């Protein structure tokens, strides 16, 4: 290092006298300058101090650059309380200042052209040679790192100097431009996030493995997990703030702020936020099904399953749900099967919905798929098109049905077009080109569509078996009554015989204790008993026969009454009415027999053909294109 006229630390105050007094946070020790952190209000005060030193034509000798940068920009640094800054200050010779003229800087980096510098041996150059050095003419001039820092500060480079690169550059033997200072890029923070704690929160999209060990590729392993109350679902991991960067000018490059959220915003019904040792958890407050809204990320636990993602090969596969209520806000796509109890679908259904006894409520359309309910009802608010609907023990309510197969105990349809319908009770507001069979049928308006007419069948029971059984039983009853009368005549004749009549009269008095036999009369009584014994036996047999026939006739009368009641029940409520016909309409009775397969068991093609066929089982009631029709079934008609 070149030697200059030494300036003691004690003279610092004089050198900056014109700029102001030595600040209170800088103290002079025998070995150099120290900064007291307790007196330093802010880095800005230290910057002002450095500016005064540099503006006074000084530089810090043996500067601790790392501590220097820390004092400038680190407001949070607290240790050590007394920081060594430099061993002293020296004047920055203007001639030597010119040696650093090749410094070039922008906001991100600074470069310096390093090249060997030698003293010239002409007189003019010697006079301009930096003073205080030991160089000889032609010798290489050695640059100084402390001078470089001071010069760079004056040029606006106040951060990020690479001391090692600068010192290495001073030793180069040939010109070379090097980066001597770099800005510090800001480090992005880490957003707050949630950590899943409860097992099964991640839906398992692996194919379901069945009990047999085979894999069902149509179903996923886990879709809607169940959780117990007070179960920790997720934990909030707090955000980590980013670290600000800094330009070489010392200006701050703010780090992008890390995103935060309130865990309470994720707490839906059935969940709550709990804090334990400064850690927040989302906890289930009830037992039930866990669902996560993919749009709001809100967790909820309840007795019904709510899904917003739809049912498809990609999202869910086929579903077999054990909950009481399932609410689907997305589409149920083609060929997907949803088996559940009660379901409310808010979007279109293209697949198959199978209920085990709740309510199937489709708030939009059912297109090309199917809906079935074993013991409950089906309601479609939108349009059912090209679909199959089955509720053999419930009611199907449709606003509009096009080209559908409908099987129900009761069906209520606003407008049916080209539909095949079988129901015990059928109420249609407008029927177009339909084939329908029902025990009770009401149509407000019947009209054709594309030259296809309506065909209505009124299902009437085949009561021939009932009639045959009743006739047989009545004939048997007449025979029994005759036989009973004959047996009773025989009993009367037998009881009127003299010896038997006397015996019975005496036996009755003895039984009532109106008569007492003397010892000599008992011999005669025993003799009389022996004489009438055959007649008594015959009388007992006749009485037993009459009792058995009376019991049989009682059973027959009960059976006949039951058959008549069953016949009347089968015949009750069978009727048909069409309020208005504007096109050709055919109405017939359809005789169904217990041995015949149920219409609901036929395929859609077979069912439609059966309803349109005219054969011995059908009897025409009406055929016409105008007017109205009303008819009620009477059991005697069959």
Confidence of residue 323 (pLDDT cuts 50, 70, 90): low
Query: When comparing pLDDT for 76 and 414, which is higher?
Result: 414
Structure tokens belonging to residue 213: 């060990």
E strand map for 221-302: 226-227, 232-237, 245-246, 252-253, 271-276, 279-284, 288-292, 299-302
Measured between alpha carbons, how far is 320 from 354 in angstroms, rounded to an integer? 9
Question: Does pLDDT of 19 surpass 60?
Answer: no
Evaluate whether 364 touches 379 at the Cβ level (below 8 Å).
no
Question: Does pLDDT of 121 surpass 50?
Answer: no
Question: Does pLDDT of 122 surpass 70?
Answer: no
Q: Which of the residue ranges 141-145, 162-166, 312-316, 608-612 would you say has the lowest mean pLDDT?
A: 312-316
Question: Does pLDDT of 459 surpass 50?
Answer: yes
Q: Which residues pair with 35 in a beta bridge?
A: 26, 83
Evaluate whether 15 touches 58 at the Cβ level (below 8 Å).
yes
Q: Which of the residue ranges 33-42, 181-190, 523-532 would you say has the lowest mean pLDDT?
A: 523-532
Structure tokens belonging to residue 580: 């208005």
Confidence of residue 360 (pLDDT cuts 50, 70, 90): very high
Mean pLDDT of 192-208: 66
Query: When comparing pLDDT for 75 and 406, which is higher?
Result: 406
CA dihedral (30, 32, 36, 39) positive or negative = positive
Most confident of 304-313, 407-416, 615-624: 407-416
Measured between alpha carbons, how far is 545 from 1 in angstroms, rounded to an integer? 147
CB atoms within 10 A of CB 494: 15
User: What is the reported pLDDT for 117?
Assistant: 86
Measured between alpha carbons, how far is 453 from 26 in angstroms, rounded to an integer? 107
Beta-strand relationship, 325-328 and 58-61: unpaired
Question: Does pLDDT of 9 surpass 50?
Answer: no
Contacts of 65 (CB under 8 A, 6+ apart): 149, 161, 163
Mean pLDDT of 99-108: 88
User: What is the reported pLDDT for 310?
Assistant: 66
Question: Does pLDDT of 130 surpass 50?
Answer: no
Measured between alpha carbons, how far is 300 from 309 in angstroms, rounded to an integer? 15
Mean pLDDT of 552-581: 90
Evaluate whether 454 touches 438 at the Cβ level (below 8 Å).
no
Greatest CA separation for the chain: 193
Measured between alpha carbons, how far is 402 from 398 in angstroms, rounded to an integer? 10
Measured between alpha carbons, how far is 148 from 99 in angstroms, rounded to an integer? 9
Helix (H) or strand (E) holding 530: helix 519-571
Percent of residues, the chain, with pLDDT higher than 70? 86
Measured between alpha carbons, how far is 95 from 97 in angstroms, rounded to an integer? 5
Measured between alpha carbons, how far is 431 from 414 in angstroms, rounded to an integer? 9
Structure tokens belonging to residue 144: 């100084």
């Amino acid at each position: 290092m070149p030697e200059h006229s030494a300036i003691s630390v004690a003279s610092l105050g004089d050198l900056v006298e014109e700029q102001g007094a030595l600040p209170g946070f800088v103290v002079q020790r025998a070995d150099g300058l120290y900064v007291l952190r307790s007196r330093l209000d802010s880095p800005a005060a230290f910057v002002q101090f450095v500016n005064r030193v540099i503006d006074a034509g000084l530089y810090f000798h043996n500067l601790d650059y790392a501590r220097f940068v820390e004092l400038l920009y680190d407001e949070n640094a607290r240790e050590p309380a007394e920081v060594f800054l430099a061993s002293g200050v020296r004047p920055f010779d203007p001639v030597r200042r010119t040696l650093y003229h090749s410094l070039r800087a922008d906001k991100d980096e600074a470069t310096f052209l390093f090249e060997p510098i030698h003293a010239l041996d002409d007189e003019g150059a010697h006079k301009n040679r930096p003073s205080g050095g030991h160089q000889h003419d032609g010798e290489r001039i050695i640059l100084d790192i402390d001078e470089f820092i001071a010069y760079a500060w004056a040029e606006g480079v106040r951060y990020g100097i690479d001391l090692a690169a600068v010192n290495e550059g001073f030793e180069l033997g040939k010109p070379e431009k090097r980066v001597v200072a770099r800005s510090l890029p800001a480090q992005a923070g880490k957003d707050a996030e949630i950590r899943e704690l409860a097992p099964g929160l991640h839906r398992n999209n692996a194919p379901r493995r069945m009990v047999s060990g085979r894999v069902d590729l149509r179903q996923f392993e886990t879709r809607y997990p169940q959780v117990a109350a007070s179960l920790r679902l997720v934990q909030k991991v707090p955000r980590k703030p980013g670290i600000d960067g800094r330009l070489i000018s010392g200006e701050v490059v703010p780090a992008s702020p890390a995103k935060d959220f309130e865990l309470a915003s994720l707490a839906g019904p059935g969940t709550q936020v709990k804090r334990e040792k400064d850690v927040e958890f989302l906890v289930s407050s009830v037992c039930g099904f866990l669902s996560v809204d993919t749009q709001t990320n809100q967790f909820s636990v309840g007795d019904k399953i709510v899904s917003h993602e739809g049912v498809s090969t990609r999202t869910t596969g086929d579903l077999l749900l054990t909950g009481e209520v399932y609410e689907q806000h997305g589409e149920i796509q083609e060929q997907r099967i949803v088996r559940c109890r009660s379901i409310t679908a808010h979007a279109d259904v293209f697949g198959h919905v199978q209920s085990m006894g709740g309510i199937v409520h489709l708030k939009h359309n059912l297109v090309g798929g199917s809906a079935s309910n074993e013991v409950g009802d089906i309601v479609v608010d939108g349009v059912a098109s090209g679909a199959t609907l089955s509720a053999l023990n419930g009611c199907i309510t449709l606003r509009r049905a096009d080209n559908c197969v409908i099987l129900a105990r009761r069906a209520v349809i606003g407008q049916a077009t080209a539909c095949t319908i079988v129901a015990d009770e059928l109420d249609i507001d407008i029927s177009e080109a339909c084939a329908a069979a029902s025990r009770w049928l009401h149509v407000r308006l019947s009209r054709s569509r594309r030259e296809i007419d309506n065909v209505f069948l009124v299902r009437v029971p085949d009561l021939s078996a009932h009639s045959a059984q009743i006739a047989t039983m009545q004939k048997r009853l007449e025979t029994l009554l005759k036989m009973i009368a004959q047996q009773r005549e025989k009993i009367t004749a037998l009881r009127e015989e003299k010896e038997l009549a006397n015996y019975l009269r005496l036996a009755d008095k003895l039984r009532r204790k109106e008569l007492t036999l003397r010892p000599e009369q008992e011999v005669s009584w025993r003799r009389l008993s022996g004489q009438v014994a055959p007649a008594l036996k015959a009388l007992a047999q006749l009485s037993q026969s009459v009792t058995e026939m009376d019991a049989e006739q009682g059973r027959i009368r009960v059976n006949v009454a039951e058959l008549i009641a069953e016949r009347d029940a089968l015949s009750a409520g069978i009727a048909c009415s069409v309020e208005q016909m504007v096109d050709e309409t055919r109405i017939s009775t359809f005789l169904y027999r217990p041995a015949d397969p149920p219409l609901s068991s036929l395929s859609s093609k077979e069912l439609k053909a059966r309803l349109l066929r005219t054969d011995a089982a059908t009897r025409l009631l009406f055929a016409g294109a105008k007017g109205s029709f009303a008819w009620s079934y009477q059991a005697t008609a069959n």
